[in-house]
A and B are shown apart, each in its own frame.
Chain A
Amino acid sequence: MNAEPILFIAFGALALIGAVAVIGFKNPVYSAIALIVTFFAQAGLFILLGAHFVAAVQVIVYAGAIMVLFLFVIMLLNLGSVDVDRPKAGIAKGAAVILGIVFALEGVYIAVNASKGTAVARVKRESAVGGGSISAMQLKELNKIQATYQLTRDEIDTEYVPKVAAADKTVEDLTADEARTLIQTLQGEMGKTERIGTVLFSKFLLPFEVTSLILLAALIGVIALVKREEPKEVS
């Protein structure tokens, strides 16, 4: 019994409906709620991908914090239903149509290529042809995972290989089927918080710190803009 496709369709449909509803509703509060639904559905999709940490952060940061502030502002400004003036001008409409067509074509292109383009599909195809032992493509995939997540080959051999094959085997001894399961296991395992932390504070330390500096700068900027001077005493 595989529930994954059903869940994917459910969450995907919910995300799309929510996204359309955001621009469909005239009342900004309803739009904000639709956006929350979309964020939630996205979190569901992240969980299906094995990225539990990202899913939780998605809900905490976007659905839980940012959208509350959106609602806060909408409610404070007390916006009623807004009638948007639809642009009559030719240029804007023409550009919208062209961009829409380009976007739709992109979607079709991705949908057509999705089934053959992904790494998982490539590995699957490879192993279906290869049969016997682990293929070059699978080894390449494993090396990629190993490099991204700062694993050593020893760790894979001792920790993860016993989960899919006999304990005394190493990566090179695996059959193609076992290697496929191993890659799937690793990809699932790597979404875990511990691994994200390890990678974030080793391989991506500099980008991580730079991002925090940018956020700090934004924070200071906002305070500087908002904080008014104390009114000077008029004697």
Chain B
Amino acid sequence: MELPLHVLIISSLIKILIVVHVLLIGVMAMILAERKVSGWIQDRHGPNRVGPWGILQPIADGIKFFLKEDLIPDHVDKPIYVLAPAILLVPALIICAVVPFGSSITVAGYEIPLQIADINIGILYVLAITSLGVYGVVLGAWASNNKYSLLGGLRSSAQMISYELTLGLAIIGVLMLSGSLSLREIAIAQGANIWNWNFLIHLPAFLAFTTAAFAETNRLPFDLAEAEQELVAGYHTEYSSMKFAMYFMAEYMNMIVGSAVAVTLFLGGWHLFGLENLGGPFWSGVISIAIFSAKTALFLFVFIWVRWTLPRFRYDQLMNLGWKFLLPVALTSIVVTAIVWIGTQSKLLVGVCNVVAASVVVAIVASTLAMRREPEQIERQEPSFMKGSSSGRT
């Protein structure tokens, strides 16, 4: 299905415009949703002063950001300080170029795929661009020339590098079954029915991927980079006005794009029991977009839900979780999927074996850790510095 060049250019431009604006509006909706849902979870009203039910609150917030003084402190490294928020925001925007947000739509006789660019290394492109997001945080932290910012930046870079591995490895099982790196092909390979979707076949990998996605977006329970009780506001302590707003937007945009990628990889993309094929060549496209958006919204709700439910991890807990639980689970998922799929060609068996293997691995790691903890606790009852000081005094 080759489109003529002028149709390709015009349709791509329209798609880019729409996707970018939907993302920006999505950020506003997410900010409102976050505050409303948090209010609901904490049994209070949330914003309800601006507009009916407070739906104009994000606009008021935006105006506030624009009108605030754009303060650049004297002690910062100016070029990088100004550049850093953009470095974080741009990767978040350009990842959505490869995400298929629907099947295809027929307009004026041309069948236009609902995706900006279907490149054959789709998922690798996503991983590559995701890995650049860390620079915005690290450079902003360094340029601020403030020790709290720097600590936040260092925490964040260590965290993002650790969880990036899990993010990449958890996907491999999915790639093996769909036999393609293109996000569109992966979505099509899952088909219309829920029992063929990857989140059931690769349940442990899906959970590892989701956890890693939380860590990559620096959200609670992984927000050590901006832990306000310890680091003021972490890497964006020195930022104000629109530059702070850009960090804020990038976080929400990363959540939206991350959810969209997760939906494509694990939740069947735009498919839902054949509902996406109803209504002819035009309306089926619209329906597929609606299904995809609904699934993404569901995933985003989980993001908010988790943030207002779980407390923050301690740093060593974070590293333990990443390296000792998630990484082994992701690796096991690769080995088990490969062996069972080659051996039996049965998706059911792959799903069952994945869960069993992951439980075994988690049990082994947990028991090993539990056994090792005992001597540590004995030592902690009499820390060495106390020994030293007491012997010094006597």
Which residues of A line the B interface, CB within 8 A?
1, 29-30, 33, 36, 43, 52-53, 55-57, 59-60, 63-65, 68-69, 71-72, 75-76, 192-193
| Contact of A72 with B157 at beta-carbon distance under 8 Å, contacts A29-B142, A56-B121 already known | yes
Indicate if the CB atoms of A36 and B124 lie closer than 8 Å. no
Residue of A nearest to B5 (CB): A1
A-B contact pairs, 25 of them (CB 8 A): A29-B80, A29-B139, A30-B80, A53-B124, A55-B121, A56-B121, A56-B124, A56-B128, A59-B128, A59-B132, A60-B127, A60-B168, A64-B134, A64-B164, A71-B135, A71-B138, A71-B142, A72-B138, A72-B154, A72-B158, A75-B141, A75-B142, A75-B153, A76-B154, A193-B181
Within 8 A of A (CB), among B113-168: 119-121, 124-125, 127-132, 134-135, 138-139, 141-142, 150, 153-154, 157-158, 160-161, 164, 168
Main secondary structure of the interface of A (DSSP, over half): helix
Q: Name 16 extra pairs, CB < 8 A, besides A60-B127, A68-B161, A75-B154.
A: A29-B77, A29-B80, A29-B139, A33-B80, A36-B135, A43-B128, A56-B124, A56-B127, A60-B124, A64-B164, A68-B134, A72-B138, A72-B158, A75-B138, A75-B150, A192-B120
Which residues of B line the A interface, CB within 8 A?
5, 77, 80, 119-121, 124-125, 127-132, 134-135, 138-139, 141-142, 150, 153-154, 157-158, 160-161, 164, 168, 181
Indicate if the CB atoms of A60 and B131 lie closer than 8 Å. yes
Question: Min CB distance, B2 to chain A, in Å?
Answer: 13
Which residues of the partner chain A approach B150 to less than 8 Å between Cβ atoms? 75
Which residues of the partner chain A approach B125 to less than 8 Å between Cβ atoms? 56
Given the complex of chains A and B, what is the CA–CA distance between A55 and B127 in angstroms? 12
Given the complex of chains A and B, what is the CA–CA distance between A53 and B180 in angstroms? 13
Given the complex of chains A and B, what is the CA–CA distance between A30 and B79 in angstroms? 10
Which residues of the partner chain A approach B77 to less than 8 Å between Cβ atoms? 29
Indicate if the CB atoms of B132 and A63 lie closer than 8 Å. yes
Across the interface, A71 reaches (CB within 8 A) one of B119, B121, B131, B157, namely: B157
Question: Min CB distance, A100 to chain B, in Å?
Answer: 30
Sort A-B residue pairs by CB-CB distance and give the 8 closest, nearest first: A64-B131, A56-B124, A59-B128, A52-B121, A60-B128, A56-B121, A56-B128, A75-B142
Across the interface, B120 reaches (CB within 8 A) one of A1, A29, A52, namely: A52
Question: Min CB distance, B78 to chain A, in Å?
Answer: 12
Across the interface, A59 reaches (CB within 8 A) one of B131, B134, B153, B168, namely: B131
Question: Min CB distance, A61 to chain B, in Å?
Answer: 9
Given the complex of chains A and B, what is the CA–CA distance between A36 and B135 in angstroms? 10
Question: Min CB distance, A8 to chain B, in Å?
Answer: 19
Residue of B nearest to A193 (CB): B181
Given the complex of chains A and B, what is the CA–CA distance between A42 and B174 in angstroms? 29
Choose among B128, B130, B142, B168 the residue with the greatest number of A CB atoms under 10 Å from its CB: B128
Residue of A nearest to B138 (CB): A71
Indicate if the CB atoms of A193 and B120 lie closer than 8 Å. yes
Residue of B nearest to A58 (CB): B128
Residue of B nearest to A67 (CB): B135
Question: Min CB distance, A63 to chain B, in Å?
Answer: 6
Indicate if the CB atoms of A52 and B154 lie closer than 8 Å. no
Across the interface, B139 reaches (CB within 8 A) one of A33, A59, A76, namely: A33
Question: Min CB distance, A185 to chain B, in Å?
Answer: 15
